[in-house]
Amino acid sequence: MKDDEKEGFGTALFGLAMVPVIMLADAYVMRALWTWFVVPLGVPAIGMAHAYGINVLVSILTPKSYRKRDDRPDNSVWYLIGVGFATPAFAYAIGYVAHMLQ
């Protein structure tokens, strides 16, 4: 294998390994938001396993566009990992502020 191929393979493998980590971050945020906003309505609380399952279900049911657009940065593994962590972090921050304002 050439060095470029090894580097590309390693990056792809790292990106694949980050998928469950990102999904756990999503599940943590979902559980927190559920606890803050849904439990007060009388719905039972959920744990990480339920939040992870709901996250998987929503991910499966959400339509996705795989075509490359010119206005979007390169879909490199590092960009996707950054977006994968930034999205739940942003949702958590907004939810936290809304929760504190209750």
Rounded Cα–Cα distance for residues 29 and 85 (Å): 11
> Could you list the pLDDT tens digit for every one of the 102 residues in the chain?
565 566 677 778 888 899 889 989 999 999 999 999 999 999 999 999 999 999 889 989 988 766 666 655 566 777 888 888 999 999 999 999 999 998
Residue 49's pLDDT is 95
pTM of the model: 0.78
